[in-house]
Amino acid sequence: MADTPILLRERQYHQLKAVLARLRMDSAARVVFLVDKDGQEIASQGEIGTLDTTSLASLAAGNVAATGGMAQLIGEKEFPTLSHEGERESIHISVIGRLLLIVVFDERSSLGLVKLRSKQVSQQLSALIDEIAQADFGDEDSPFAEITDADIDSLFK
C-alpha cells in the first residue's frame, strides 16, 4: 500500500482541506501542508504568498528521510516529529504513516501549541487517509474505465 498513489475524490480533498484549515486556525499557524513521503503536496491551507510549496514539500520529505536514517542508527524506527525554529518563522513536521503534516508558523504561535494541535489532528488525518486508501474504486469510477488494451496498443502503431 505504501507505494500506491493516494487517489482523492473531490469530497475527500475538501475534507482534508477542512481539517488543515481547522489546524491552522487552532494553532495560529501561517500555513499548513499535507505532503506524502515522496515530497508530493496533497493539500495546503493558509498564507502561501510567494512560498515555493514544491520545494518546501520536497525538502521536508528529504529532511524526514535523513532524520529517519539517523533514527535507525541509534535504534529508533523513526522520529515522529521534527521542529526547526528560526528567528521569525518556524516549521513543525509530524509523520503520519506515509504522510507528513507540515506547519509553518511565526511569533503569533508557539511550538508547544503547534505540537499539541498537530497531535490532535494527526489521528483525524490518519483515519481520513485510511478511509481514502480503503475506498473501493470500481471500474465505473475509474477515469480509465473506457480505455481498452486495444486503445493503448493503437497509440504505439
Q: Considering the domain boundaries, does residue 54 fall inside one?
A: yes
Answer yes or no: is 55 within a domain.
Answer: yes
Residue 137 lies in a domain: yes
Q: Within a domain: residue 127?
A: yes
Whole-angstrom distance, CA of residue 153 vs CA of residue 66 = 42
Cα 8 from Cα 10, distance rounded (Å): 6
pLDDT digits (tens, 9 = 90+) for 68-101: 999 999 999 999 999 999 999 999 999 998 899 9
pTM of the model: 0.81
Domain assignment of residue 56, given as a range: 10-155
In-domain check, residue 92: yes
Asked if the model's pLDDT at residue 146 lies above 80, the reply is no
Question: CATH number for the domain including 53?
Answer: 3.30.450.30
φ/ψ (deg, to 5) at 146: -85, 0
What pLDDT was estimated at residue 121?
93
Q: Is residue 4 domain-resident?
A: no
The domain tally of the chain equals 1
What's the pLDDT tens digit per position in 111-134?
A: 999 999 999 999 999 888 888 777
Task: Give the CA radius of gyration of the chain.
Answer: 18
**Alpha helical stretches, state H, the chain:** 10-27, 53-73, 111-134, 149-155
Are 45 and 30 a contacting pair, CB within 8 Å? no
Is 2 among the domain residues? no
Higher pLDDT, 138 or 43: 43
